[in-house]
Chains A and B, each alone.
Chain A
Amino acid sequence: MKIWLFNCKEVSHLVSQSMDHKIGLSKKIGVRFHLLMCKHCARFENQLTLIRSLLKKSSTASTTPKMDEEAKKQMTRSLKEYQDQEQQ
C-alpha cells in the first residue's frame, strides 16, 4: 500500500476506524502525514473527537441511577424463594 498517497476518502475512513480500534503502524504514519498537509481531514478528526468528548461529558454529568429500594427488597425475596426451591 502506498501510504504516502492516501486520499481524503481513505484517510477519513482510517480516522474513523482508529477511534474504535488500533490501526497498523504504517497506516497510522500515512494518516498522520496526510493530516499534516490536509486541514479538511484534520478538521474531520478534531470534530469526531469533539463529538465524542461532548457526548461523554453529558453522560458523566448525569449521576448513575440507583435501583429503587422497593425493587431491591422484592428482588431479595424472590431470590430467596428461588434458592429455597432449588435446595429442596
Chain B
Amino acid sequence: MGKMGKSTRPAYRGSQTVDPEIWVETYADSLYGYAYVKINNSSLAEELVQDTFVAALGARKNFRGNSSEKTWLFSILKNKIIDHLRRKYRDKVQSLDTVSDQGLDEYFDDRGAWLNKPGKWKDNPQERYEQNEFLTVLRDCLTFLPSRQSDAFQFREMRDFDSEEICKILGISSTNYWVVLHRARLAIRACLEKNWF
C-alpha cells in the first residue's frame, strides 16, 4: 500500500488510510455504550472497543462500503462481544446440567392444565420507587434459578441479545433455548407473584 500519501482526512469508502483520532471521536462513545449494556463492565467494554478498532484497521481493505462505516464497526463489535461471552460461558455451562429441562411437572398436570394458576397482579408499578423494588425482587428471583436459565433470561430481557446470539453464547440449540427460556419465565413469574404482586 505504498502509493497513497499520509492523509489526515477520515478515510471513507475506497481509500485506505484512516485517522484513528477521528474514528475514536466519531464512534468510540456509541460503540462503548453498546458494549457496556451487553457486558456491564467498563474496562472490558473499553477493551472490546479497542479490539474492534484494531480489527477494523487490519481489515479495512475488505471494507467495500456496502454498508456504512458505522454499521461495519458495529458488526465487528457484536462478534467480539459474542466471542467473549461464548468463551466465558463455555466452561461454566459444560460443567452444569445437560439440558434436563424436559418435564414441566411442577407447573402443569398431565392434562396440561396449570397446577398453580397465574393470579391477578395488583396494579402495575407506576412510581419510580415501586419499579425499583420490583427490580430488586426480580434480581432475587433470578438467583434461585439454575444458572443457565438465569443467564438466558438476563441476556434476552436485560441485555437485549436476540435468540440466535444467545444460542451461540450458551452453546445450545434453538430447541433447547426455547425450553430454557420458557422455564426461566415460568419460574420468574411464579417467584414474582409470590414475593411482589
Contact = CB atoms under 8 A, between A and B. Distances in A.
Contacts of A51: 138, 157, 188-189, 192
Interface string A53-78: 01101110000111110011001101
B119 A79 contact: no
Given A8-B108, A16-B181, A79-B23, A55 B46 contact: no
Contact of B21 (A54, A58, A76): A76
Contact of B111 (A7, A41, A57, A79): A7
Contact of B32 (A21, A52, A66, A86): A66
A11 B42 CA distance: 41
Contacts of A7: 108, 111-113
| Residue among A7, A40, A41, A55 having the largest count of chain B Cβ atoms under 10 Å | A55
Given A55-B158, A66-B32, A9 B107 contact: yes
B132 to A, nearest CB: 8
18 contacts: A8-B112, A9-B113, A12-B182, A13-B178, A13-B182, A16-B178, A17-B182, A20-B156, A43-B121, A47-B192, A55-B138, A59-B37, A59-B160, A67-B29, A75-B50, A79-B24, A79-B53, A83-B18
B155 to A, nearest CB: 11
Contact of B135 (A20, A54, A65, A71): A54
